[in-house]
Amino acid sequence: MTESGNTNKSKSHKEQSAKAPTVVRFALALTIGILILLAGRIDTSASTAANEYRLGMQDRVRIRVFEWRPAKDEVFEWAALNVEYTVGAAGRISMPLIGEIAASGITVNDLAKTIGQRLRTRMGLAEAPDIAVEITQYRPFYLTGHIEKPGEYPYRPGMTVLQALAIGGGLLRAGEIGGSRIEREFIQTQGDLHLFSQEFHALLARRARLDAESKGKDTLLFPASIRDAHDETGMIATLITQEQQIFRSKRETFDNQTDTHEQLLQFLSEEIKSIEQQLKAHDTQADLLRKELEAVSALVAKGISTQPRKMALQRAIAQMDGERSRLQTGLMRVKQDQSRTNISLLELHNKRINDSVAELRDVQFRLESIARRSETAERLLGETQRIAPFVLAANLANQKREPIYKIVRASASTPTTIDATETTTIEPGDTLKVEFPRNQILIPNMFVNAPSSKPLNPATEDQPEKIRAKTNEQKAQQSTINRRFIPSSTQAQ
């Protein structure tokens, strides 16, 4: 029994001796694990503190100040301080009671501690009040380079380069740099030349009408360059019809006004003749009365006739003199009306001539302006045709290149440039630059060695034919240019 008991004790001691290293190893492993976990937490905390956002210029923060008052068992809010503040150009914010506080380069927690300590010192509090600082608006970031809409944009936390590109409209399309713009300029220039031709024909037709009006012609004749011009749309025929209608209308109006003045002059002339005849008859009657008065006066002197008869004749002569004065006054008034009518008729003729000359001068100026614009449009169209192959080649090369992203980040001393990818995070105040590698294909200057064009002369009547011929020639080349220089995908669109 004793031996058996000893044997069991010996086995139990051996088992405990075998388990002891296992327990020690487990305790050691547990201790190492705890240390590693604590170290990870310390590293994470330090990393979080290092990456915590720091305020800068143009950041807006909302500050709220609270104080616990045990005597009243309540939380008191400092409403006068609880507003939004903007970090100024000097990196400071200005608050009531405590003045300016440096905010640039520190975190919101540091700012809250600084404000609390300043309020405690300024107000003589036993403890610093509780401060809550919240960022309401981050300072903007900027996009520049080959971007559809470069400029300033509001920042959102966690924004990446790809998201910033999306806000700016994406990368600048190659077509905007080359092919599509070349095609658009080609079509637009052709349309401008066509409009120039139409406007030139219209001005020539107007000039012919104004010339006929200024010279007082009864008929309107158009130059051969207008009558014989190739008219596909019927525009020239419409212009001729419209100018003829205007000419006839203005001619009829002028003739009616002239006829009215001439009829008035004729009426006044007849009235003058009538008054002159009345004066002549009046003078005859006055002469007879004077002769009768002389005879009666002689008889009165001899005592043969009475005095009242003599006085009656004198009264009649006086009335005749008054009537003659009235007739003379009327004659002078009619002659004045006649003079005014002649002046009005002369002014009517002069106005027609002056208006026509003034319009002719304006038409001539516009013709010269169209000539210069047509010359410029022709040169631009020629340059567009020559530069199209080079631009297309450059665009094809651009499609094979990847954009280069760089972030310019402001720091305390000097800005730093950081190479970035589409997943790089952007911070407030950053400037994202998007560029492409420089192309080896050189695009020639559109205005170097440009052919000299002889200035168009608006005075020559074959001017519209030159413009029309040039326009038709360029229109015929359009499909060829598109097939040679414009990508097939663009044509399909």
Whichever domain contains 371, its CATH number is 1.10.287
3-state DSSP call for residue 67? strand
Mean residue pLDDT across the chain:
77
Query: Is a pLDDT exceeding 70 seen at residue 244?
Result: yes
* The model scores a pTM over 0.85: no
pLDDT band at 49 (very low <50, low <70, confident <90, very high): very low
At 105, is the pLDDT very low, low, confident or very high (cuts 50, 70, 90)?
confident
44: in domain: no
Mean pLDDT, to the nearest integer, of 455-479? Answer: 48
Same domain, yes or no: 263 and 193? yes
Alpha helices in 52-160 (DSSP H): 108-123
Distance CA 83, CA 383 (A): 61
Q: Which residues make beta-bridge pairs with 135?
A: 61
Q: Which of 350, 371, 402 is the last residue of a domain?
A: 402
Mean pLDDT in residue range 69-84: 81
**Six-digit token pair at 20?**
């002891």
Nearby residues of 438 by Cβ (< 8 Å), 6 or more positions away:
none
**Does the structure show a pLDDT above 90 at 27?**
no
Query: Is 492 among the domain residues?
Result: no
- DSSP class of 413: S
pLDDT at residue 431, rounded to an integer: 93
What whole-number percentage of the chain has pLDDT above 70? 73
Q: In this structure, are strands 84-86 and 60-69 parallel, antiparallel, or unpaired?
A: antiparallel
Asked whether residue 229 falls in the same domain as residue 193, the answer is yes
Residue 223 makes CB contacts below 8 A (sequence gap 6+) with 204, 208, 461
Residues 143 and 125 in one domain: no
Say yes or no: 295 and 262 in one domain: yes
Confidence of residue 395 (pLDDT cuts 50, 70, 90): low
pLDDT of residue 440: 41
Map 27-45 to HEC letters. Answer: HHHHHHHHHHHHHHHHHHH
Q: Minimum mean pLDDT among 79-83, 287-291, 347-351: which range?
A: 79-83
Q: How many other C-beta atoms can be found within 10 angstroms of the C-beta atom of residue 372?
A: 12
* Same domain for 413 and 290: no
Confidence of residue 36 (pLDDT cuts 50, 70, 90): very low
Euclidean distance between CA atoms 239 and 203, whole angstroms: 10
Are 183 and 228 in a shared domain? yes
Q: Which residues pair with 66 in a beta bridge?
A: 77, 130
Count the domains in the chain.
Answer: 3
Instruction: Provide the pLDDT for residue 181.
Output: 66
By residue range, what is the domain housing residue 437?
139-171+403-441
| Percent of the chain whose pLDDT exceeds 90 | 15
Asked whether residue 46 is domain-assigned, the answer is no
Instruction: Examine the pLDDT at 333 and tell me if it is beyond 80.
Output: yes
CA distances from 242 to 200, 335, 363, 451 (A): 15, 43, 17, 39
In terms of domains, do 252 and 373 share one?
A: yes
Domain assignment present for 478 = no
pLDDT at residue 76 is higher than 50: yes
Three-state DSSP state, 130: strand
pLDDT score, position 412: 63
What would the two tokens of residue 482 be? 């598109």
Report yes or no on 89 lying in a domain: yes
DSSP assigned state of 97:
T
Strand partners, 166: none
- Residues 478 and 36: their CA atoms lie apart, in Å, by 75
Q: Is the pLDDT of residue 312 over 60?
A: yes
More confident residue, 330 or 70: 330
**What pLDDT, on a 0 to 100 scale, did the predictor assign at position 179?**
57
Residue 268 lies in a domain: yes
Domain annotation covers residue 38: no
pLDDT at 466: 47
- H runs (alpha helix) in 100-234: 108-123, 161-167, 174-177, 179-214, 224-227
Instruction: Note whether 111 and 101 are within 8 A (CB).
Output: yes
In degrees and rounded to multiples of 5, residue 319 shows phi and psi of -60, -40
Q: What pLDDT, on the 0 to 100 scale, is given for residue 22?
A: 52
360 compared with 491, residue with greater pLDDT: 360
Q: Is residue 408 part of a domain?
A: yes
- Clarify whether residues 268 and 411 are in a common domain: no
Looking at the fold, whether 68 and 195 belong to one and the same domain comes out as no
- My answer on whether 163 and 194 are in the same domain is no
User: What sign results for the dihedral spanned by CA atoms 268, 270, 275, 280?
Assistant: positive
**pLDDT of 442 above 50:** no
pLDDT of 269 reads: 92
Say yes or no: 225 and 350 in one domain: yes
Q: Residues 434, 365: one domain?
A: no
Q: In the prediction, which pLDDT does 472 show? A: 53
**pLDDT for the residue 467:** 44
Q: What is the pLDDT of residues 448-464, one digit of tens each?
A: 343 444 444 454 444 44
Residue 387 pLDDT greater than 70, yes or no: yes
pLDDT (average), residues 89-113? 88
Q: Alpha-carbon distance 120 to 142, whole Å? A: 40
User: Most confidently modeled of 96-110, 218-232, 396-410, 430-444?
Assistant: 96-110
Q: What one-character-per-residue DSSP string does 220-238 give?
A: ----HHHHTS--SSSHHHH
pLDDT of residue 394: 65
Residue 152 to residue 431: CA distance in whole angstroms:
9
